[in-house]
Amino acid sequence: MPDFIDHASRHEAKFTEMAIASQRKRSLQASQIESAHTCNECGDEIPELRRLAIAGCRYCAPCQAERE
């Protein structure tokens, strides 16, 4: 029985490592996407500080809050 549990534990650890690596890759890609200058919802200008703080943002703060 311990062999089965050890095997399952190693298998789970491998899948966890793969999931973390995948999430890190997506996070890095998202941080390299340029933010929009105008909101995709209302058309208002997105402030520069927001565009810099949230890489890849597409909505102004009020529209983003409404979407969430």
* Burial profile 15-50: b = 16 or more Cβ within 10 angstroms, e = fewer: eeeeeeeeeeeeeeeeeeeebeeebeeeeeebeeee
What average pLDDT does range 29-38 have in this prediction?
80
- pLDDT for 2 equals 67
- Is the pLDDT assigned to residue 32 strictly greater than 80? no
- Is the pLDDT assigned to residue 1 strictly greater than 80? no
Distance CA 4, CA 7 (A): 5
- Find out whether 40 and 59 touch, Cβ atoms under 8 Å: yes
* pTM: predicted TM-score of the whole model, two decimal places: 0.53
pLDDT digits (tens, 9 = 90+) for 34-67: 899 999 999 999 999 999 888 889 999 999 999 9
- Mean pLDDT rounded to a whole number for the chain: 88
Q: Using alpha carbons only, what angle is made at residue 54 by residues 61 and 56, rounded to the nearest 5 degrees?
A: 100
